[in-house]
Structure 1
């Protein structure tokens, strides 16, 4: 008897695995310095403080039970208070929804805000996780390029004037991944105004905002309009393993997200959410902890940019990160970074080719470098290895 193999959903046909996740499988050798992964430094994660918070939480039997789909109530109160201070207006607890990392928030929002074929505007280069989500939702994706001040709003305005009507504009406005730039204050105001004028949502994806080096980033885009939905998490300041993210949105959006989350996983972990609430409310400890991360990452970012410029001179241009985790660099001699990668791995250094983030522009000569998980000497060594590979 012949077998009839059941089909998978048609929406899977256009999806691809994350190029970064695939690349990380190739960078596990001890002799490879990886500047590829977007990982926080595990040595800076507060293991002892997390253990103490876990011990405290486990004294209450309720912490091992299911919690509300919208999140552990005490954590939502903490996030509402922090968001109120960041945005400059009172954020109600009903406007806070806790998710399994901010990536889940993005995925649930795509289901709530997008019908198949809806237009989504993204930045180019783009955050890969956003592209995966919007492609899975069947969205039509149009890219707007970045410059040194973030998304080119003049190009967005041209698209709107030409009749394009996005349902969503997605932006990593602060310390962009992968572009390493920050959206200027005036552009933030203008983006919010355009959202209100043309009736679209802005998703402000902000996992890096607290990782500034010398001075805080401009006020969030969400400061200027209730049509801006703000996402963040504790993955970069505490630990990715906690899997605690959130969205700040109008209550009707949160309630719609709640319906979908109930169908996805019922609720998040009450244990890790209570641990997170404990850590976020210990404000003197938290401030000192984040200051330590900022200082370490800032030193490493400067070491990497210094080494790149000293080694490559005019052959390679790179961003000057003022926060976050990434540097975006571009060869000026048409070096193809996808082709170069195999030679670089053989030389003992890994990066992510810019093509992995490209939407319209091919970014063939670009690359993203993460400076968070290596010390200054190792970063300098990585640049030496990259230079050797590029001369082969």
Structure 2
């Protein structure tokens, strides 16, 4: 029986390497540093339960809602984002999405035609790569270092004739690199957007999770050509599936129109829960303080154990916030080949090649420190060090 052909856009798509890896490493005896998963013990289930009970007292919580999101939630988000970007947002400037990943997908549909050029970071957030490949965009990679996207490289590419429609950046505590886009580069990127007329998608799910102090001004504070995205997943609960975006009113109205065809509306129930938690300022500020302190301690424990175990054979990115540490082996051992050995040792990670666009990241790896307490992370570091030693010895034959 002959099957009907799938659409042309399916030809270049592949499953996320990280999602596939999570399936392979879901063994109970494996400490997985592979996922970007919050510790479930830090998800405020009791407070969510109370908010859910209150929400269910209102019949509207189980009914269809506005496509753009619950008005009260948009008001709360607008107030919080206004403080960050230094200008007043109205609730009508905010679109609530089914997680920030949906926001990214909707923006691609609004802003991109097949063949349009999108600048992505290298290494890149894999979810963004999937979105842009689905949109049949042409990807142009710009390297990321300790200060975020190298905007000097971007400027040189623009001077050479590159004309992107969109530039995507994870500006704070980059996934996977862990870096923070410096204030100078933020200003430079904003200036380039104003000069060359491209849109910046400022993807910021980790910005609240800082350890030593808040990151610089959002890029959205420096240009009106920025669409800013964020999410409740990392600070409240992934299962709420609450994200949002704001920016140019015409773009947001177009996103809302496309969203009508995608899901009509989000969950009125989870949006009421999120609005309750975000608007309880004293509770939420204390909750964030706990997350910052706890994740900061975990980051220090993991990096200290890794540095002690690996010595001069690897280097690790400074961790200033977020959920990830970036590792670079200084010995010629492919981290993709190490992974199988590591799993047998009882630890897992994501090889750097999963995030690569043009760069050779075969010696790199992403490690998540958020999911486990310090003692487990120290054990994971020992297992990882042993796995790299064994894999290196095997490669030498």
The answer (yes or no) to whether the contact 2:76–2:279 under 8 Å persists in 1 is yes
Aligned to 2:5: 7
Aligned to 2:262: 264
Aligned to 2:381: 383
Normalising by structure 1, we get a TM-score of: 0.99
Aligned to 2:311: 313
Aligned to 2:18: 20
1:184 positional shift: 0.3
Cα distance in structure 2, aligned partners of 1:161 and 1:295: 44
Cα distance in structure 2, aligned partners of 1:345 and 1:232: 33
1:227 positional shift: 0.6
Normalising by structure 2, we get a TM-score of: 0.97
Cα distance in structure 1, aligned partners of 2:271 and 2:133: 30
Aligned to 1:183: 181
CA deviation string 1:123-151 (max 9, x = no partner): 00000000000000000001100111111
The answer (yes or no) to whether the contact 2:352–2:362 under 8 Å persists in 1 is yes
1:248 aligns with 2:246: yes
Instruction: Write the mapping of 1:270-349 to structure 2, written as runs, cut at 5 A.
Output: 270-349=268-347
The answer (yes or no) to whether the contact 1:120–1:167 under 8 Å persists in 2 is yes
1:377 positional shift: 1.2
Cα distance in structure 2, aligned partners of 1:318 and 1:75: 39
Higher mean alpha-carbon deviation, 350-359 vs 52-61, is at: 52-61
Number of residue pairs matched by the alignment:
390
1:173 positional shift: 0.6
The answer (yes or no) to whether the contact 2:123–2:143 under 8 Å persists in 1 is yes
Counterpart of 1:118 (choices 102, 116, 119) is 116
Deviating runs (4+, > 4 A) in structure 1?
A: none
Task: Give the secondary structure class of the aligned counterpart of 2:325.
Answer: strand
Task: Give the secondary structure class of the aligned counterpart of 1:143.
Answer: strand
Instruction: Write the mapping of 1:43-122 to structure 2, written as runs, cut at 5 A.
Output: 43-122=41-120
CA deviation string 1:310-342 (max 9, x = no partner): 111110011011000000010011110001100
Aligned to 1:147: 145
Task: Give the secondary structure class of the aligned counterpart of 2:337.
Answer: helix
The answer (yes or no) to whether the contact 1:94–1:254 under 8 Å persists in 2 is no
Counterpart of 1:369 (choices 367, 370, 388) is 367
Task: Give the secondary structure class of the aligned counterpart of 1:279.
Answer: helix
Cα distance in structure 2, aligned partners of 1:163 and 1:6: 40
Cα distance in structure 2, aligned partners of 1:166 and 1:226: 17
The answer (yes or no) to whether the contact 2:306–2:385 under 8 Å persists in 1 is no
Cα distance in structure 2, aligned partners of 1:271 and 1:390: 47
> Unaligned 5+ residue runs, structure 2?
391-397
Aligned to 2:393: none
Question: Superposition RMSD on alpha carbons, in Å?
Answer: 0.7
Task: Give the secondary structure class of the aligned counterpart of 1:25.
Answer: helix
CA deviation string 1:225-252 (max 9, x = no partner): 1111100010000000000000011111
Cα distance in structure 2, aligned partners of 1:265 and 1:244: 14
> Unaligned 5+ residue runs, structure 1?
none
Cα distance in structure 1, aligned partners of 2:343 and 2:165: 41
1:93 positional shift: 1.7
The answer (yes or no) to whether the contact 2:22–2:35 under 8 Å persists in 1 is yes
Aligned to 1:225: 223
CA deviation string 1:214-273 (max 9, x = no partner): 111111110101111100010000000000000011111111011111111100011100
1:362 positional shift: 2.0
Aligned to 2:168: 170
Cα distance in structure 2, aligned partners of 1:314 and 1:123: 28
Cα distance in structure 1, aligned partners of 2:311 and 2:121: 28
Task: Give the secondary structure class of the aligned counterpart of 2:326.
Answer: strand
1:391 positional shift: 1.8
Higher mean alpha-carbon deviation, 379-388 vs 361-370, is at: 379-388
Cα distance in structure 2, aligned partners of 1:388 and 1:62: 55
Task: Give the secondary structure class of the aligned counterpart of 2:4.
Answer: coil
